[in-house]
Amino acid sequence: MDTSNWKSLFPRATLTSLPVPMSDHVPLLKCVNVVNSLPHRRFRFENSWCLEPELPKVVREYWTNLHGISITEILMAISDSLSIWARYLRKNKVRDKASLQTLISSLQGCRDVVSVRRLKAACGELAHIFLREETYWKQQAKQHWLKDGDTNTRFFHAMALARR
C-alpha cells in the first residue's frame, strides 16, 4: 500500500517525532484517529427484566415493526428500545418502592378487612421489587455460585461495587 492510499484510508492520522536526549535514533509516534461507529456503551441484557411482565410486549412491538432491514439493525433497534425502557422502569421502581414502603408503614396498625388486603397486596408488590433488585445485584456481582434463595443483597451490592 502506498502512502496516498494509506492517507486516504486514515485522513486524521498524525506522525510526530519524540525527543531523545542520548541517541541518534528518533522514535516516531503514529496516531491513527479512527472514528468508531459502534455505540460507546455496550448493550447488556439484565436478568431482572425477565421478571417484568411487559418485556415480551416491548420486544414483540419492536420486532414486528421493523421490516426490510438486517437482523443486526433490528437487534440494535431493540437493544436501544430496551435500554430506554429499562431507564424508565428503573425510575418508576424507585418511586414505587418508596410509596409502597410509606403505604405499608401507614397500614400496619389497621385491622379492618380492606386495610389488611391492601397491606398484603403492598407487601407482595414490595417483595417482587426486592426480588428484581436481588436478581440485578446477583448479575452485577457475578455471584453464580450462590443459591437463588439467598437474600443477602447487601453482600451482592458490596461485591458489585468492589468489581466496579
* Distance separating alpha carbons of residues 35 and 82, to the nearest angstrom: 26
Mean pLDDT across 117-135: 89
The answer to the question of residue 163 being in a domain is: no
Q: Does the pTM of the predicted model rise above 0.75?
A: no
The answer to the question of residue 78 being in a domain is: yes
The answer to the question of residue 164 being in a domain is: no
Burial class (CB in 10 A: 0-12, 13-18, 19+), 79: middle
Written as one letter, the residue type at 124 is G
37 pLDDT exceeds 60? no
The answer to the question of residue 88 being in a domain is: yes
The answer to the question of residue 22 being in a domain is: no
β-strands 14-17, 28-31 pairing: antiparallel
The answer to the question of residue 16 being in a domain is: no
What residue numbers bound the domain in which 71 lies?
A: 47-157
Question: What pLDDT shows up at residue 117?
Answer: 92
149 pLDDT exceeds 50? no
What Å distances lie between residue 105 and 100, 102, 118, 119, CA to CA?
9, 5, 12, 9
What totals of helices (H) and strands (E) does the chain contain, helices first?
5, 2
The answer to the question of residue 39 being in a domain is: no
Contact by Cβ (8 Å): 164, 147: no
CA angle 56, 145, 157 (to 5 degrees): 70
The answer to the question of residue 83 being in a domain is: yes
Mean pLDDT across 61-76: 79
- Could you give the maximum distance between any two Cα atoms of the chain, in Å? 92
Mean pLDDT across 43-70: 83
| Domains of the chain: total | 1
Question: What pLDDT shows up at residue 134?
Answer: 86
Mean pLDDT across 43-68: 83
Higher pLDDT, 135 or 144: 135
